[in-house]
Each structure stands twice: as C-alpha cells, then as structure tokens.
C-alpha cells in the first residue's frame, strides 16, 4: 500500500515491445507495451498482435512464437513462475530485465517516462497509441 492521495500524479516508465521477424534487417512492428510504476507497485504488459502486419515483414514468421514470447513477458510482469527466474525478482528488477536491449524476435524499444494516476489505464492507452 502507498500513501498517495487519489488523483496524485505518479511517475512511470514504459517500453514499447517490438516484433522483428528478421532481426538482422532492423525492421519491426510494434506489438505491445510494458509499464512500470514504482510509486504504485505496478508492472504490467499488454499487446495486440496483427498477423498480417508481421507477415508483411516476413511471410514465414511464426506468429505463435511471437505470441508465446509476449505471454512470457506477461508472466514475468506478474511474477508468475512460468516467467522463469526473472519472474522471481523484485518488480523494479523485472522491469529493468524486460527493458534491457536484446537481439530477439520480441524486444523492447527505448525507455520513456510519463505521469499517471492509473498505470493500467495508461498501459491500455499506450497500446492504443503505439500498436493498434
């Protein structure tokens, strides 16, 4: 629990998740977001995968693999054992692990910041603005 009053603006950090079916080409499609709000002890992920957009970069992309990667990210955010060892760390460490650059099919973009009264609402807003 925190000592925040209703309506207080609290800082948060977020990354946009990108799917790069052919990582060596540097082309990607935004597929989701991860938001971390330390002041509200919130870490969450949301996504919306458009198979047609992915296939425009690589007709042979395995959409199920992309979705499985995103589900793994959700498990890490939730502290679910299905997320592996990263899910067992503290919430801030989980975000930093998820936000670290990597060369995988699903990877994070740069970290950005904002202010929120509801990180879950802002997570949905980010997916609407950057993915859909």
Any domain includes 4: no
- Tell me the residue range of the domain where 34 lies: 10-130
Output the CA torsion sign for 49, 55, 57, 63: positive
Which CA distances in Å does 19 have to 44, 53, 104? 18, 10, 8
Higher per-residue confidence, 3 vs 24: 24
State yes or no: pLDDT of 2 exceeds 80.
no
- What pLDDT shows up at residue 1? 42
* DSSP per-residue string spanning 63-113: HHHHHHHHHHHHHHHHT-GGG-GGGGS-HHHHHHHHHS---SSEEE---EE
Any domain includes 60: yes
Domain count, the chain: 1
Read off the pTM: 0.91
Tens-digit pLDDT profile for residues 37-73: 999 999 999 999 999 999 999 999 999 999 999 999 9
């Amino acid at each position: 629990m925190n000592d925040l009053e209703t309506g207080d603006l609290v800082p948060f950090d977020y990354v946009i998740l990108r799917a790069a079916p052919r990582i060596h080409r540097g082309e990607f499609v935004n597929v989701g977001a991860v938001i971390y709000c330390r002041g509200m002890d919130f870490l969450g992920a949301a996504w919306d995968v458009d198979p047609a957009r992915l296939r425009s970069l690589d007709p042979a992309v395995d959409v199920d693999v992309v979705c499985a990667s995103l589900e793994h990210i959700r498990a890490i955010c939730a502290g679910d054992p299905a997320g592996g060892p990263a899910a067992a760390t503290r919430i801030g460490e989980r975000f930093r692990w998820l936000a670290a650059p990597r060369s995988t099919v699903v990877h994070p973009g740069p970290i950005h910041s904002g202010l929120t009264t509801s990180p879950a609402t802002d997570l949905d807003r980010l997916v609407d603005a950057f993915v859909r």
